[in-house]
Amino acid sequence: MGVTSRLVRWAAARPGAYVVTSPGGTRARLGVEAELRRRGWPLVASPAAGGLLVVCGDHLEDAVTTVWDDLPNPRALARIPASATSDRIAALLDEAAALLADADAQRADARTRPGPWIPDTAHGGLPMAERGPDRDGLALDRLHVPLGPVLAHWPAGLVVRTTLQGDVIQAAEAEYPERPGDGSFWDEPWERARAGEPVTRGEAERRTAASHLDGLARLLAVAGWDAAAGPARRLRDGLLAG
């Protein structure tokens, strides 16, 4: 077995997963995170840190394509439909892991990679820096950088357009998706109750508590405090399991 094959198999044994969520993909994301925790596969903060890109939901095609094109080999993409069951999620992750471990497939993928990405300012690329006064009145370079929508632990579909001077955000504007959809999972018990289905108060309260823990886990993860985000996810999953 060659060095390349050994490295590919090593990368696939416990791949780091970069998980992103589209509007309406909350249920799929929760199922993916629970399955990853069961397998011991870590969540990573950047796609290059793990090689496994996991997309939960169906509405981020252009942004996902951009991230995928920049991802180095070995790499694999798992697309998880919004309505995927736990068994389907496990099967799709297995398929992605098998692709990561396939040295021949990785070589073939590397040969067909597109060329390096060149920013096109006319079509959404990063423009050249411009000058502007900072908070001390100095004229410094300003760069306009969008954050999202394909970021780990990020609200589904959210884009924050920032103006940066050095490491300081001078201005920011949030753009929410046209079809949020993401709140439907957390509101589901109340929607069912309004439709006349029997829903216990305990079920509704557990869903509310789980939504708070999910928000807390994502905030801690974005802040880089993974040691605290993990227990929040475990408590969330326990509540959702009843």
What pTM, to 2 d.p., does this model score?
0.82
Percent pLDDT > 90 in the chain is 50
Question: Which residue, 29, 23, 44, 36, is CA-closest to 179?
Answer: 23
What would the DSSP string read from start to end of 187-208?
HHHHHHHHTT----HHHHHHHH
Does the pLDDT at position 123 exceed 50? no
Percent of the chain whose predicted confidence (pLDDT) is above 70:
83
Contacts of 205 (CB under 8 A, 6+ apart): none
Read off the pLDDT of residues 182-239 as tens digits, 9 standing for 90 and up: 458 999 998 899 889 999 999 999 999 999 999 999 999 999 999 999 999 999 999 9
- Antiparallel, parallel or unpaired: β 16-21 and 168-175: unpaired
Query: In whole numbers, what is the pLDDT of the chain averaged over residues?
Result: 85
Q: Which residues contact 94 (CB under 8 A, 6 or more apart)?
A: none
